[in-house]
Structures are given as structure tokens and as C-alpha cells.
Amino acid sequence: MCGRFSLIATWQSLLDAMKAEPPKQYTARYNIAPSQPVLLLWRNEDTGRREFTHALWGLVPSWSNEDRPVNPLINARAETAATKPAFRESFRRRRCLIPATGFYEWSGTGGKKQPWHFQMRDGGLFAFAGLWERLVSPVGGEIETCAILTTTANRLVAKVHDRMPCILQPEAFDAWIGDGEETPGSAQTTAVQKLLRPFPDLTMRSIAVATGVNSPAVDGPACLEPARRERGVTPRLPFMDEE
């Protein structure tokens, strides 16, 4: 799954990678949590242009009569999103890119869970495959919400969790966003499903970070502070390369 992530890229790196101008109110985030606004790149349904916008993390289907469900859909399984009622219309017409510089998972049990930050080896920007939806709220107004696609974990992430977010290569960005004119079962929809596979583990690394990130209320550089050594040993995954 993916339940927390970071986006600490510069404004310029977002512009260069996503080929669209980020909003002027863009702020780096170290600990983005469900129900919070997230930055995403979509194809505007009215203009057809690639644009950045914000949506609440936790997709609410357009047919829902709840604008704040108890269990928001923060993730969608890549294997079933194209056919599952909650996601199939979004998968066909409302795909998006969610920029990130890392995501968190936790190892251990009980009260001693160790957070790990997974990122590219060069620390660079990447993008999750996402879905978005627009809901007309029962209390008035429109609400945009989103979810992150997940797939089977690669070798690195699998030591902590059996699922990981779907990370797309830059050359797949245009294909994933699409043109908004697909029909059910179209060749384009079938083609983009093939993009949703585990990201190569050799291009990633994981870092044990301080437990402050366990609280979604904490958001700042301290979230990426390396975990403190205990008895001279720093937490590490069994097969991690020495940094």
C-alpha cells in the first residue's frame, strides 16, 4: 500500500519533469497523509490541457452520497482498478500523476514500528500513477479527490510490505494521463494497464528514519532524520547496500 509520502522537489524540478507550471502556492511537504490535499497533474476536462491542481487524498466515487466517508479510498489495486465500480470510470477517463520524492513504510510490530523512507538512489523526483474523481457535495460545491495505484512490491520494498505504489517512468507520463476520450475496453486503456508494474529495485534505496514521521501532524525536515543508532547498530534491511 501507500499511506504516507513526501514531496520536497523544487518548483523548477517539477516544471522540468512534469512539463507544466506548478501552482504559485506550491510548498514542499515531508509527510503527506490521507485526507490532506496533494499536488497532482491532470488533463483538465474542460480545456484538455495538462495542469497542476490539488485534490484530497482519499478517492470518493462520483456516485457516493458521502463527501467524507469513514474509510476513504487512498489506494487502488492496479490489478482490479479498471473493473472495480469505485475506480473504473476514473481509470478510463480521470488518470493523473502524483509527484513525489519518496514514500514511507513501516517494519516491526506493536509499538516499535520502524519507519523507512523509500526514494530514488539519486534522491530525485518521480511520479505515482493516480486516479481522481469529482464529487458534487451534498452540502454544496464540488470536491476533487484522488487515490494512488499500487502493485506487487519489488525486492526492496517486499522486505517491509507486499505492496508498493505504482511508479511511472517519465516516458510513460503522457500515455498515463491520456486524452480523456477513451471507451470501455479500448486499446489505450488496455495499454496503460501494462505500465502498472513494480518499479526496478536497483534504482531505489531505503533509509531508516526517526519515528517522528509516525504522526501525520509532523511535517518538516525532521521526518527524514536518520534513525538513531541503538547499541551501535542502525536499522537496515537485510540486503541493503551500504551507503
Catalytic (active-site) positions: 2, 105
Question: Partners of 195 in the beta sheet?
Answer: none
The rounded Cα 138 to chain-centroid distance in angstroms is 28
SS3 70: coil
Q: Considering just the CA atoms, what is the radius of gyration of the chain in Å?
A: 18
Query: Using DSSP, how many helices (H) and how many strands (E) does the chain show?
Result: 4, 13
Question: Partners of 102 in the beta sheet?
Answer: 6
Task: Give how far Cα 40 sits from Cα of 14, 101, 111, 125, Å.
Answer: 11, 13, 33, 13
